[in-house]
Amino acid sequence: MDVKERIVAELTAARDRSFGLTVEALEAPELTSQVSPLMSPLVWDLAHIGNYEEQWLLRAAAGAAAVRPDIDDIYDAFEHPRAERPSLPLLSPAESRAYVTTVRQRVLDSLEKVPLVGALTENGFVYHMVIQHEHQHDETMLATHQLRKGAPALLDPPGADSVIGDTIAAEVLVPGGPFLMGTSDDPWAYDNERPGHTVDVPSFHIDTAPVGNAAYAAFIEAGGYQDPRWWHPKGWEWGSASGKEAPAFWHREGGQWLRRRLGRVEPVPLDEPVQHVCWYEADAYARWAGKRLPTEAEWEKAASWDPVAERKRRLPWGDSGEAGDHANLGQRRLHPAPLGSYPGGASAYGVRQLIGDVWEWTSSDFTAYPGFRAFPYREYSEVFFGGDYKILKGGSWATHPLSGRATFRNWDHPIRRQIFSGFRCARDA
């Protein structure tokens, strides 16, 4: 399959997923309403995906005429915060579907004539950017589904729970030394992953699997939420003001922890990675456990460096390979896989589940790499550098495999819990 054939296939797969989370899953009232000020109405996400595609693949890449320049402002994520989007004159669900379908057809019609040369289109870069953008919004849509109060709209895929976790060592040693962080040649990489550069990381221990629900429940039972010793001062202030005493969507009933998952209430599976915890909760647990959160560099070295070959791997298990055989990605199941799953997906150091299952908080702030250059627009990364953002790595069960690479950098405020976030711990050697 050549580059353009793959672009067509990936564009089609992304759109099928988007429709499956919006117009094919819910009726108009739930598509146009806002479940939380943290999230957009689902219909805004759908039309925004089309508007982004129109601007980059039709206007910028193909030099084609605009389809709906009159709605550019409405679907500009930087002009309108999520809390105010329901008050905008949004396209209806039917209008949104028709609009994104028109844009897509014109993109496909123009693709044959677009030369894949020059910074914007070389190796399909701008098409890869738009495909990943759609999948990132699909993950955001899944977070919106999680926040919904209504009946379940999404079903667990058949056979999704056939994976069984292994009993594995608690942690591994990653010896100190230099490694290549980031990338300079991955055609799917965003600007904030570039350029690749050498970082010397001292020896450290890192958990072989993410922190699980049973371990996190032990932290709760030990009074972890009531003891300021474990909390960052801002985290203690956040917890005291909000009254949080457990991960988001957890509650106790009859001595048992239950969780609400995409409209279903079920016992918390003790053998799964904990998810829907914020950075402050992850940091407090790590302190309570006598450890700490890994730095972004530590996490990426554990995930991507091959110490024998002295080279970087794109994925923990190698440079390629179907995610389904190695990691829980792409909505294959609607929850994390059991701890110790996917032995074939282990890194060179034997660390498992680094890609997929839950986004993993690190201790690092979101900053630029040495030699960073914003491309193709500042608003993707640069405007967020130096703010109140912490780095998350590895993707979740909701992340598409196209973004499930070791260099991918996600970031969010340390109080965010609606995302599919968890963590693992590290400690000095």
pLDDT tens profile 260-289:
999 999 999 999 999 999 999 999 999 999
Indicate if the pLDDT at residue 164 is higher than 90.
no
Question: What is the pLDDT, as a whole number, of residue 324?
Answer: 76
Question: What is the pLDDT, as a whole number, of residue 325?
Answer: 82
**Residue 353 CB coordination number (10 Å):** 30
Question: What is the pLDDT, as a whole number, of residue 162?
Answer: 66
Question: What is the pLDDT, as a whole number, of residue 158?
Answer: 77
Question: What are the start and end residues of each CATH 3.90.1580.10 domain in the chain?
Answer: 161-429
Question: What is the pLDDT, as a whole number, of residue 167?
Answer: 80
Tell the residue number behind the tokens 């024998």, with chain if given. 308
3-147 to CATH, choices 1.20.120.450, 3.20.20.100, 1.10.10.10, 1.10.357.10: 1.20.120.450
Question: What is the pLDDT, as a whole number, of residue 372?
Answer: 97
Q: Per-residue pLDDT tens for 46-86?
A: 999 999 999 999 999 999 999 999 999 999 999 999 999 99
Question: What are the start and end residues of each CATH 1.20.120.450 domain in the chain?
Answer: 3-147
Give the span between the Cα atoms of 112 and 4, in whole angstroms: 8
In this structure, of 127-141, 193-207, 312-326, the range with the lowest mean pLDDT score is 312-326
- Average pLDDT rounded to a whole number, residues 407-420: 97
Q: Per-residue pLDDT tens for 298-340?
A: 999 999 999 999 999 999 999 987 777 899 999 999 999 999 9
Angle at 344 between CA 341 and CA 345, to 5 degrees: 75
Measured in residues, the chain has a length of: 429
Residues above pLDDT 90, as percent of the chain: 92
CATH number of 161-429: 3.90.1580.10
The amino acid that residue 138 corresponds to is D
In this structure, of 152-156, 241-245, 282-286, 382-386, the range with the lowest mean pLDDT score is 152-156
**With contact defined as beta carbons under 8 Å apart, do 424 and 202 qualify?**
no
Token pair for 403: 């973004």
CA trace torsion 35, 36, 37, 43 (10° rounding): -30
In this structure, of 76-90, 145-159, 187-201, the range with the lowest mean pLDDT score is 145-159
- The model's pTM is 0.96
Indicate if the pLDDT at residue 257 is higher than 70.
yes
Indicate if the pLDDT at residue 391 is higher than 90.
yes
Indicate if the pLDDT at residue 168 is higher than 90.
no
Give the span between the Cα atoms of 288 and 246, in whole angstroms: 15
Q: Per-residue pLDDT tens for 108-133?
A: 999 999 999 999 999 999 999 999 99
**DSSP character at residue 246:** S
**DSSP character at residue 356:** B
For 256, half-sphere exposure in the C-beta direction (CA atoms, 13 angstrom radius) is 9
- Average pLDDT rounded to a whole number, residues 128-145: 98
- Average pLDDT rounded to a whole number, residues 219-234: 97
Tell the residue number behind the tokens 């084609």, with chain if given. 64
Q: What is the mean pLDDT of the chain?
A: 95
